[in-house]
Structure 1
Amino acid sequence: MKSKQETIFSSKTLTYFLQLADTMNYTQAAQILGITQPALTQQIKKLERTVGAPLFYSVGKKLRLSEAGRTMLNATHEIYEVLNQATDEIQQSTSADSGEINVGLLTSIEYSVFEDFAIQYYKENPDVTISFHMLTRKEIWDRLENNRIDLAIMYLPDDSIKNWKPYRSKKIITEDLLFIHHNEKFAGRKKIRLKDTLNNVWVTYPREYYLDQVIRENYKNAMVDTPNSVARFTTPDQIYEFSSATGAFTALPNSYILAKGTQDNMYSAQFEPGIKFDLAFVFRKDKDEIPRVGRVLNAFDQYLAEQDYTTRLTHIHDEKYRNSEGAKD
């Protein structure tokens, strides 16, 4: 028979509690966890019976953490912090030239430079496995919290990240968000005002995605209507292809356009005022002291010192273009 401590601190119990505390919605939490709502409710009630107090209470239709729930949440975060620190300390004694590094890459990011770096790094370090995981912003944050990825590559600043205390960031480049359109009247413009981008439908990222939130926030701050989105996709390739095929306007990072280029019926311009954000590595403090992780970060610095990020993107685009032209011949 399990002890009270085993019941409270089982991995499944804590995972269920944390997910509900994060979403404050039984239905949403159950969907994310891949279980039924009654199963989640049963697990939470079981935990409440074990600790001897309710962890949540309702105000109308809204769920709230009780005082006991806040105590449990703080304790759970402390438990995970201790486990993460222990894991990092163990890994700091491991080899720099062997083992695995897990990298979470935001799905909306142009990945060609990181793909090229991984190829070069493997040739020089064949005993180090770099595993890239294409993830949503929430998935990246959850995996950072649970120490399931060593490095994240994501956009900043990000207001959805509430607790930066255990984390560090390392900027890679500052990105420009470009307006992508099919209006020949604007073809010669290098900059386009936000209010001039609303005379056509758009294709964008899903509402919870970073870039969609950035777009809506900038239009709101400029006191103009937000674009009318008729389709939403999770990757820049999907957005680009929909825009190209339908004539819908959109917005994509400059890095993606440098790597992809624009077709004959498409034009790009900067927004006025400009929309900028940083592309950065994010990782737990002391992760860079793990030999193989620190070595990868240093190698990436050297990789960009030899040829900067923008130049590499341009060369990748040129190489793809030459290959496609060769295939046609």
Structure 2
Amino acid sequence: MKTKTDAVLSAKSLKYFLQLIDSMSYTQASQILGITQPALTQQIKKIERAVGAPLFGQIGKKLYLTDAGTRMQTVANDLFNTVNTAVDEIQQNSDSKIGTISVGILESLESSVFEEFIIEFSKQYPDLKLNIWNSSRRELWNRLDKNEVDIVMLPLMGENISHWQSYNVRTLYEDELIYLSHHNLAGVQDEKQTITIADTLGHPLIQYPNDAYFAKKLASQYRMDNLIKPESDIYFSSPSQLMQFAEKTNYDTFVPKSVCMTHPDNKLNHYSLGDKLKIDTSIVFRNEKYQIPRIKNFIESFEKFLAKQSYFSRLEEKYKK
């Protein structure tokens, strides 16, 4: 016999409920979940009937959580955290050669060396299942906070992760944003010489969307030098797209050094800004994940892989002209 509790604690209903909170849009949430909007509405109504109160209110087109919705959000998060913690504790005693490892990578990150490692690792541990996916920065943090992913790989810039003490951060390599230009800036004759951020002004520029990580990094540097960040007419989230578009037009742009190295035939002038635009590319994971043998082995294997030959050395070897 089903009870109200059975209806409320349906894992599917609670998952849909939490996704709707993240999106605050039935349309976006249903697209992310891969279901129709009526199906999502039905699941939310199912919980509301069980608790006897509306979970969401609406002002105009904007959704908001009611008091009952806020309370149910806490309960749902606590429930999923309890289940995930229990699963992790059970898996801590499992064999390092079996199970599943989930890794999220920032979609704009140069990942060819990581892919090279994955090929080598999967051959060594054929019974391990690896879920590798690329996503936005926001989605990576969201899944990490919800314990839906084991490890994320991305550049860091003063992230405000709730409960930082619960996470472990390992820097993999130091990258930097390189200025790619059609011009000989400030008399610089050698690409190894540096320029200032002010030297980039006055030239047409294509950039990253304003909410992208690299865009925020650049905006911060312009502000620190008391300069106004140039506006752009064209934006790309992909560094490779920026580089290719800049080369075929009269636009300049900023691209990570790691991406520049994957395009050795690029004809633009490469300029460094010294320490101004350094980026630490890191992996981040929950502390308790390191107690799980297969995840600990994966992290240590990747670190040994890079210790044997550095990230940039591998890139240089792979993309020699």
TM-score interval, normalised by the smaller of the two chains: 0.7 to 0.9
The alpha carbon displacement at 1:27 in A equals 4.4
Instruction: Provide the rounded CA distance (Å) in 2 between the counterparts of 1:74 and 1:101.
Output: 27
Instruction: Please state if 1:53 is matched with 2:24.
Output: no
Pairs within 5 Å for 1:37-76: 40-58=40-58, 62-76=62-76
Gaps spanning 5+ residues in structure 1: where? Answer: 322-329
In structure 1, how many angstroms separate the alpha carbons of the residues matched to 2:183 and 2:151? 40
- Deviation by residue 1:194-243 (Cα, 9 ceiling, x = unmatched): 33323233333334432223223433454433333333333322222112
Further displaced range: 178-187 or 35-44 = 35-44
**Equivalent of 2:261 in 258, 263, 277:** 258
Match of 1:136 in 2: 136
Q: Distance in 1 between matches of 2:53 and 2:224?
A: 44
Query: How many Å apart are 1:62 and its aligned residue?
Result: 4.9
Map of 2:214 onto structure 1:
211
Amino acid at match of 2:305: Y
The offset of 1:5, in angstroms, is 1.7
Quick one: distance in 1 between partners of 2:232 and 2:76?
Answer: 40
Cα 1:315/1:225, change in 2 over 3 Å: same
Classify 1:216/1:25 alpha carbon distance in 2 versus 1 (closer, same or farther; 3 Å).
farther
Aligned to 1:298: 300
Residues 1:49 and 1:192: Cα distance change in structure 2 (over 3 Å): farther
Q: Deviations over 1:16-62 (max 9, x none)?
A: 22123223344443443345556545543443332223333456765
Q: Determine which of 233, 237, 243 is the counterpart of 1:234.
A: 237
For each residue in 1:155-194, what CA deviation from the matched residue of structure 2 results, as whole angstroms up to 9, or x when unmatched? 2135464454543222212332222221124553633333
Whole-Å separation in 2 of the counterparts to 1:26 and 1:166: 32
Does residue 314 of the first structure (1) align with residue 316 of the second (2)?
A: yes
Structure 2 partner of 1:125: 125
Do 2:108 and 2:238's aligned partners in 1 also have CA atoms closer than 8 Å? yes
Q: Which amino acid aligns with 1:16?
A: Y
Using the size of structure 2 for normalisation, the TM-score is 0.84
Assess if the C-alpha contact under 8 Å between 1:204 and 1:229 holds in 2. yes
Report SS of the residue matched to 1:174: strand
Work out the CA distance in 1 between the residues paired with 2:241 and 2:305: 29
1:274 matched to 2:276 = yes
Structure 1 residues 290 and 310, CA gap change in structure 2 (3 angstroms): same
Question: What amino acid is aligned across from residue 309 of structure 2 in structure 1?
Answer: Q
Alignment partner for residue 249 of structure 1, among 217, 237, 252?
252
Task: Label 1:217 to 1:81 Cα distance change in 2 as closer, same or farther (>3 A).
Answer: same
Change (3 A) 1:152 1:13: same
8 Å Cα contact 1:112/1:316 also seen in 2: no
Give the match's secondary structure for 1:204: coil
**Hey, what does 1:13 align to over in structure 2?**
13
**Partner amino acid, structure 1, of 2:92:** Q
1:56-205 matches, cutoff 5 A = 56-58=56-58, 62-157=62-157, 159=159, 161-162=161-162, 164=164, 166-186=166-186, 187-188=188-189, 190-205=193-208
Matched residue of 1:227: which SS? coil
**Residue 225 of structure 1 corresponds to which residue in structure 2?**
228
Q: Structure 1 residues 3 and 234, CA, compared in 2 at 3 Å: closer, same or farther?
A: farther
SS of residue in 2 equivalent to 1:114: helix
Sequence identity, in percent? 37
Residues 119, 35 of structure 1: alpha-carbon distance in 2 compared, 3 angstrom cutoff: closer
Q: 1: distance between equivalents of 2:51 and 2:174?
A: 48
| SS at structure 2 position matched to 1:155 | strand
In structure 2, the CA distance between the partners of 1:38 and 1:103, relative to structure 1 (3 Å rule), is same
Q: Which amino acid aligns with 2:302?
A: F
CA distance 1:4–1:153, change in 2 (3 Å): same
